[in-house]
Amino acid sequence: MPTENLLHPRRTTLDGFRVMRSGLVVALVVAAALVPQMTHNQYYLGVAFQAEMLMCLALGLNIVVGYAGMLDLGFAAFFAIGAYTTGILSTKDHWSILASIAPGVVIAVVSALIIGFPTLRLRSDYLAVVTLGFGEIIQTIAINLNQTGGPTGIYAIPALTFGSVVVESNTGYYYVFFVLVLVFAIFSTRLRGSRLGRAWLCIREDEDAAKAMGINTNHYKLYAYVFGAVLGSITGSLYAPALTAISPASFGFSESLLIVMAVAIGGLGSIWGVMFGAAVVEIFPEVFRSFAQARLLVFGVALVILMVLRPRGLFPERAFQVVGARIRRRFDRPQGSATLQLAGDVLVGPGDKT
């Protein structure tokens, strides 16, 4: 552990750190926005927007698993609900894609309440089993109903339109999901900085103690589950037109597991971590396509190594702070008692641990 702040050796830590971090955020967002300008390879663009889509799903699941600490192994169910609602309404009833988001969300919320209300009181391991079952049920329904197109699914889903603008290219969907990732990330950050986020973390850390704070733990667990469902369903509704065809195979246990992996690899509860984890989970197996049959094995080994080396994820959650500058100035001792972390490296102010 470095004993002095390597980035600002002279200055004390907090504000310099914040400026640097904001700069980094802007640079990353701009770089991501320029991806379609850097390549016209449709395959790369396809992988890129699939990565964004997985980021959206991971941000949704992060509220459930990362914040509230409830293991949900059937998250793809909500993704499926959004995708199928939009698929059915847009092909059979000629709804616009945007309009079909709302009924998808409503169905997702109602199912989250029906599944969540009786089961969220259970301990986390039981919860994992129930959510796993729910994921399987939704996939089975999709395979067996006529309205959902059976095992072949739904095809010829119309394009997403905003007024007269029609989104058809991979580049177009890249930007649509780019905005969605931003919106979900900001939404998650806002929730995290409010009583909701704090209540979720308290439940994750110690549910009995959370009750002593006056937190109605059953309600807050249900809120987390419902918020996750909403984000999952919205992502599904936009996924349907992006691929133009959906089938039950895309919404099974393996998809749920992929989302859990994205959250766990990146770092439970950490928004940057979760987004990065999603990118890794999506892009890594593509990079190793040359290994052909063995690529999943290689991926699996890489994951095991990663989890041994960094059990809390690549970008573990930091202590959360949205504190007014006034408070910070008043209470941060000049030599800085704060321990700050960026990308897992601990940057410590001089004179730490007095």
* Residues in contact with another protein by the rule CB under 8 A: 187, 190-191, 193-196, 198-199, 201-202, 205-206, 208-217, 317, 319-324, 327, 330-333, 337-339
In angstroms, give the least distance from the CB of 170 to another protein: 30
In angstroms, give the least distance from the CB of 187 to another protein: 6
The Cα–Cα gap between 18 and 40 comes to: 35
Is the Cβ of residue 221 or residue 243 nearer to another protein in the bound state? 221
In angstroms, give the least distance from the CB of 139 to another protein: 31
> 60 to each of 53, 64, 260, how far by Cα in Å?
11, 7, 11
Is the Cβ of residue 131 or residue 188 nearer to another protein in the bound state? 188
* CB 233, CB 104: distance < 8 Å: yes
Is the Cβ of residue 83 or residue 198 nearer to another protein in the bound state? 198
Instruction: Give the pair of three-digit tokens for residue 102.
Output: 């709302």
Is the Cβ of residue 191 or residue 265 nearer to another protein in the bound state? 191
Closest by CA to 197, choosing from 185, 208, 188, is: 188
Match 């309009």 to its residue by tokens.
99
In angstroms, give the least distance from the CB of 337 to another protein: 5
> 240 to each of 49, 51, 100, 303, how far by Cα in Å?
13, 15, 11, 30
* CB 234, CB 82: distance < 8 Å: yes
> 226 to each of 111, 136, 195, how far by Cα in Å?
9, 19, 16
Is the Cβ of residue 165 or residue 212 nearer to another protein in the bound state? 212
Residue 320 CA to its chain's centroid (Å): 18
Is the Cβ of residue 296 or residue 346 nearer to another protein in the bound state? 346
> Using CB atoms within 10 A of its CB, is residue 79 exposed (0-12), middle (13-18) or buried (19+)?
buried
Q: Decide the pairing of beta strands 160-162 and 165-167.
A: antiparallel
In angstroms, give the least distance from the CB of 248 to another protein: 33
Is the Cβ of residue 60 or residue 87 nearer to another protein in the bound state? 60
* CB 80, CB 136: distance < 8 Å: no
In angstroms, give the least distance from the CB of 101 to another protein: 17
* CB 112, CB 224: distance < 8 Å: no
DSSP character at residue 289: G
Q: How many CB atoms lie within 10 A of CB 308?
A: 8
Is the Cβ of residue 1 or residue 165 nearer to another protein in the bound state? 1
Residue type, 187: F
